[in-house]
Structure 1
């Protein structure tokens, strides 16, 4: 049953990638030659790309990420461990791909005339992804490509396990704090968002180092 669910999730992800690319390509005739593709922390456009890039090339990024995240476990020296958390890995992969589809779709919608706060929308999507991954961090098993990979977590499975359990909790807390920053003005909100996303990672790495020193 678990294996069947994994296959269904992978098929759904691939189907969404195909549908997403077709939708993006269908926008091409209606778009201006130049499409805004980057916004600063104030929510102002600071970079443009040709509509061919925005509708045909940028939508290929989620596909590239899907392929990369599919290949990495095969290349990992600890690839056997992926079987121990395959459902978790597949959910994380699907979530990351979905987020990339949403982020690359937003500029197209904006260029079509939809009144969107792109900077705020991207921060919201990233915060939700951070919280989602945090909920699954404790289930990630020892490997070289996924999770918090520093010398001391790679050197000890016990350090790896305890680090990811704490890291997951801190990521959820940080993600929730980052969500609150969406209510703040753009500049201070951006700073709070970055703090909510980066501090949990820094604290988790520091914790893993001292835990390793304690155990060895």
Structure 2
């Protein structure tokens, strides 16, 4: 007799019947030839937020690292146990991903715990407290130069945390070098669990914009790029 969760066994059986059976060849190729994802997503551990589902990604398309409040620590020297930093290093230096996405979300428990701690982060947990302390620079920046002046404080700090993680990404030499060369691109995004809305950060204004509004622009840009390419080839 096993005490393994029945819900997981039931779900696994459905996975075998409905998903694996349709993608068996793809899974076998991934097992033989390995993974080559183009995108790494750093997301929250929150069970309501699933990057593969949000982006409708197939197996092998996303390299995902999850932690409390989707935070990226700043680069530090030394060989201590840095889980997120290790995943980042492997994705960039090993898998050669082309895009890094920080994915935040609404009603983030880590952000809420930071806001409600009143500076007593030790009371939020032995490990959680030191981890969410990384939001302090974001909170200071938000208080001094708020980008989202009219937003709810919780939402504003969720956005600010994403911006801070993007800044921290650039403290990693291997990230900074590839971004400077144009071989790696970093992005911020935020997901609303209830409405299913995705917002993407404008790299110039740092304002979060509705992803659905961006699709027509991307199609237009793609068409212009293709037209320019065809015109150049015809000369």
* Structure with larger Rg: 2
- Calculate the TM-score normalised by the size of structure 1: 0.27
Where is the strand percentage greater, Structure 1 or Structure 2? 2
Where is the helix percentage greater, Structure 1 or Structure 2? 1
- Calculate the TM-score normalised by the size of structure 2: 0.25
